[in-house]
């Protein structure tokens, strides 16, 4: 009982840290975009958190953990609507649910993860997507696609039952790439912002508040203590400590290498690239944070930092407009981190690498197909992009009728 209490308290702390990450995402996104779209981004982020939790309660949790039976294909299952109260016949709490935490803590911790996938898309489509189609996408993707995909591994589905099980400790693929694939499809279908490309060459559209973006990254880094630390699913002192060390070292290495490579390639000390390098390192280590040595964590983060610089340039060359670098950070570094499990650490080996590759391809398939169907239906029926006038004048004024930074000066008489 005492051990359960200790483990459960740690898991609840981690749940709070993951929840706090949504403030980090919000700060990062508004900081890297223009002032006239601030309210729009904040609205989307709040919508994702609130609706995401409700949907995860109603259907998502039981889609993700359906209780696959022996002989099932392990692709789709559903345990029923809503949450089941884990009470015994005597009305007391059933402490046999899990040795590390209670049923309720499990739901809330996993629910915080669910909302993250759509938040990744929010940043990529910033400044030119209509709010209503985005809300509909969030409902479908977070409510149904994310938990079904998650069941393939975390719910005991077919990726978990491979001869060498696919491994994704805290979601480099299950969370970050799931959001990243959808972001890629959305950006492609939306098109670039007005003025982003001139004569085929990418033009910088500076964010309006880099200090806020920096604060967002620091908050996200802090939140990752819960994201990865909580994925140990207990307060095990040795494994939790190792996980937090590898997480921090990968983040630091990613930031430093991204800064160095960016400076060499572009001849300027780009803070935004430094910040995205940190995030890239965090995303990459997430798949195997509990399996890596400190040295391997540094290598994984460092490679992710270099990947960020070249990925951002590649995305620009493909004329894809991603205002916050979400595709490079969450998709490409997520893939790298997932494959790195088969190269470094305790699970390294050819069979593990093949399983990691199967996992990456499987999630690419469901995410690309499902997000394309959702977005193309929305595009053909109600449209997904705001008008040219709305984009130029700002989504805050046209979608919300408000200003994020109103002028409070008294009128002079």
Residue 232 is assigned to a structural domain of this protein? yes
Among candidate residues 107, 118, 170, the one with its CA nearest the CA of residue 146: 118
Average pLDDT over every residue of 35-57: 96
In this predicted structure, the answer to whether residue 87 has a pLDDT above a threshold of 90 is no
Residue 410 is assigned to a structural domain of this protein? no
In this predicted structure, the answer to whether residue 86 has a pLDDT above a threshold of 80 is no
Residue 117 is assigned to a structural domain of this protein? yes
Average pLDDT over every residue of 169-196: 96
In this predicted structure, the answer to whether residue 74 has a pLDDT above a threshold of 60 is yes
Residue 162 is assigned to a structural domain of this protein? yes
% pLDDT > 90, the chain: 84
Average pLDDT over every residue of 290-294: 96
Quick: pLDDT tens for 221-263.
999 999 999 999 999 999 999 999 999 999 999 999 999 999 9
Give pLDDT, residue 97: 59
Among candidate residues 225, 154, 219, the one with its CA nearest the CA of residue 11: 225
pLDDT class of 69 with cuts at 50, 70, 90: confident
Instruction: Assign residue 349 a region (left: φ > 0; alpha: ψ between -120 and 50; beta: otherwise).
Output: left
In this predicted structure, the answer to whether residue 179 has a pLDDT above a threshold of 50 is yes
Among candidate residues 268, 327, 391, the one with its CA nearest the CA of residue 120: 327
pLDDT class of 199 with cuts at 50, 70, 90: confident
User: C-alpha 126: how far from its chain's center?
Assistant: 16
Residue 84 is assigned to a structural domain of this protein? no
For residue 91, give Cα distances in angstroms to 67, 86, 88, 98, 266.
Answer: 24, 9, 5, 18, 65
Burial classification of residue 264, based on how many CB atoms lie within 10 Å of its CB (0-12 exposed, 13-18 middle, 19 or more buried): exposed
Quick: pLDDT tens for 260-286.
999 999 999 999 999 999 999 999 999
Q: Are 42 and 135 in contact (CB under 8 A)?
A: no
Q: What is the pTM of this model?
A: 0.94
Among candidate residues 258, 265, 264, 229, the one with its CA nearest the CA of residue 245: 229
Token digits for 194? 């007005």
Give pLDDT, residue 391: 95
% pLDDT > 70, the chain: 94
Average pLDDT over every residue of 145-158: 95
CATH number at residue 393: 1.10.3430.10
- Residue 252 domain boundaries: 2-66+98-400
Q: For residue 137, what are the contacts with CB-CB under 8 A and spacing of at least 6?
A: 118, 121, 182, 186, 371, 374, 375, 378
pLDDT class of 5 with cuts at 50, 70, 90: confident
Describe the chain by its helix, strand, coil percentages, rounded to 5: 65, 0, 30
Q: Are 328 and 176 in contact (CB under 8 A)?
A: no
Give me the torsion for CA of 91, 102, 49, 178, rounded to 10°: -130
Instruction: Tally the domains of the chain.
Output: 1
Task: Find where tokens 């944070």 sit.
Answer: 289
Give pLDDT, residue 117: 82
Quick: pLDDT tens for 102-133.
889 999 999 999 988 889 999 999 999 999 99
Quick: pLDDT tens for 353-402.
999 999 999 999 999 999 999 999 999 999 999 999 999 999 999 999 98
């Amino acid at each position: 009982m005492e051990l359960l209490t200790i483990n459960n308290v740690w898991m609840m702390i981690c749940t709070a840290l993951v929840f706090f990450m949504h403030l980090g995402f919000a700060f990062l996104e508004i900081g890297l975009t223009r002032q006239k779209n601030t309210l729009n981004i904040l609205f989307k982020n709040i919508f994702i958190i609130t609706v995401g939790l409700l949907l995860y309660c109603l259907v998502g949790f039981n889609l993700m953990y359906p209780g696959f039976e022996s002989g099932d294909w392990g692709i789709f299952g559903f345990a029923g609507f809503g949450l089941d109260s884990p009470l015994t016949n005597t009305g007391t709490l059933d402490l046999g649910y899990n040795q590390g935490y209670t049923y309720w803590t499990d739901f809330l911790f996993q629910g915080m993860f669910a909302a993250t996938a759509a938040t990744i898309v929010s940043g990529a489509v910033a400044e030119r997507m209509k709010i209503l189609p985005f809300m509909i996408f969030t409902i479908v993707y977070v409510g149904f696609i994310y938990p079904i995909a998650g069941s393939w591994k975390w719910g005991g589905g077919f990726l978990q039952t491979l001869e060498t099980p696919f491994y994704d400790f805290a979601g480099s693929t299950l969370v970050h790439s799931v959001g990243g694939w959808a972001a890629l499809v959305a950006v492609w279908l939306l098109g670039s912002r007005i003025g982003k490309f001139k004569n085929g060459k990418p033009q910088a559209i500076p964010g309006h508040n880099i200090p806020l973006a920096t604060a967002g990254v620091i908050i996200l880094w802090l939140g990752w203590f819960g994201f990865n630390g909580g994925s140990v699913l207990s307060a095990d002192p040795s494994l939790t400590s190792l996980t937090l060390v590898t997480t921090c070292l990968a983040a630091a290495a990613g930031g430093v290498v991204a800064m160095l490579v960016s400076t060499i390639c572009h001849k300027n000390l780009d803070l935004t690239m430094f910040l995205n390098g940190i995030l890239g390192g965090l995303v990459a280590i997430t798949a195997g944070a509990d399996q890596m040595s400190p040295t391997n964590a540094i290598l994984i983060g460092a490679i992710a930092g270099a990947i960020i610089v070249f990925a951002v340039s590649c995305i620009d060359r493909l004329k894809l407009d991603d205002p916050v670098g979400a595709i490079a950070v969450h998709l490409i570094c997520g893939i790298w981190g997932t494959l790195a499990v088969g190269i470094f650490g305790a699970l390294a080996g050819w069979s593990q690498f093949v399983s990691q590759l199967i996992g990456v391809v499987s999630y690419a398939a469901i995410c690309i197909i499902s997000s394309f169907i959702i977005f193309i239906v929305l595009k053909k029926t109600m449209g997904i992009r705001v008008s040219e006038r709305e984009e130029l004048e700002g989504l805050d004024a046209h979608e919300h009728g408000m200003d994020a930074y109103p002028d409070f000066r008294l009128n002079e008489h």
